[in-house]
Structure 1
Amino acid sequence: MKIRISWPAGHTTATLDDTPTAAALLAALPIDGTAHTWGEEVYFDTGLAPALEADARQVVEPGTVAFWTEGNALALPYGPTPISRGGESRLASPCNVLGRLDGDPRVLATVRSGDAIHVHRA
């Protein structure tokens, strides 16, 4: 399943895997939130509270669509965060992996903290 994520300066799409958290996200769409940035990561509250899945990861590839269960937030890393080692994308804590952004994840560099962010089915 595909989703579209948009903000004032741009948009991207993502392909989600078949996971419990991805299913919960899809069922809740559309979602509107306020973007926050942390290094080269965009995250925003979704109002969802899924459980941490067994295959949750803290270090992911740029462009991974992740769900930060501790913050009830979608986490979209596109490069290093303040706790990364080297060029890795290290999330604040282990997150559920939902899928991948389509195309270049660096498009997220145009998101600013405070931007309105909208997620819906693509």
Structure 2
Amino acid sequence: MADLRIAVGDAELAASWTDENPETRDALAAALPVEGDAARWGDELYFSVPVDVPPENTREAVPVGAVAYWPRGDALCLFWGPTPASTDDEPRAASPVAVVAEIDDTGPLADVDGGARVGVERR
């Protein structure tokens, strides 16, 4: 069962926590619910969150559906395809991110045109 409800515009997505970055995940969980106006960068949306944690197990290449914390910008990122930093179809962040959750079905994100209002809360 999914742990998180993610609203992107009119779409509702489900996501589950991962264990890759437990300290980052716990800091984000403590800040929930969060929401903001997201910017789009390729097939990535990102928005500021009230979380400030040091880099944990960060990386630039992430799987499709990754929900990741970007320490450099104190932002939460949703990845569903290539970004300007990608060299193939694999999503790639502008700088290292900490993956904290994975979206069950990224299909609705294909309809996002530009930025969107994003909200994340516990399910």
Compute the TM-score of the two structures, normalised by the length of structure 2: 0.89
1:11 matched to 2:7: no
Contact kept in structure 2, 1:2 and 1:121, CA below 8 Å:
yes
What residue number does 2:117 align with?
A: 116
- Which runs of structure 2 are paired with 1:9-88 in the superposition (5 Å)? 9-18=10-19, 19-53=22-56, 55-88=57-90
Contact kept in structure 2, 1:42 and 1:108, CA below 8 Å:
no
**Secondary structure at 1:21 match in 2:** helix
Q: How many residues align?
A: 120
* Greater than 4 Å deviation, 4+ residue runs: none
Contact kept in structure 2, 1:48 and 1:72, CA below 8 Å:
yes
Q: RMSD in angstroms over aligned alpha carbons? A: 1.5
Contact kept in structure 2, 1:34 and 1:113, CA below 8 Å:
no
Compute the TM-score of the two structures, normalised by the length of structure 1: 0.90
Structure 1 spans left out of the alignment, 5+ residues: none
- 1:7 shift after superposition: 2.6
2:9 counterpart letter in structure 1: P
Structure 2 spans left out of the alignment, 5+ residues: none
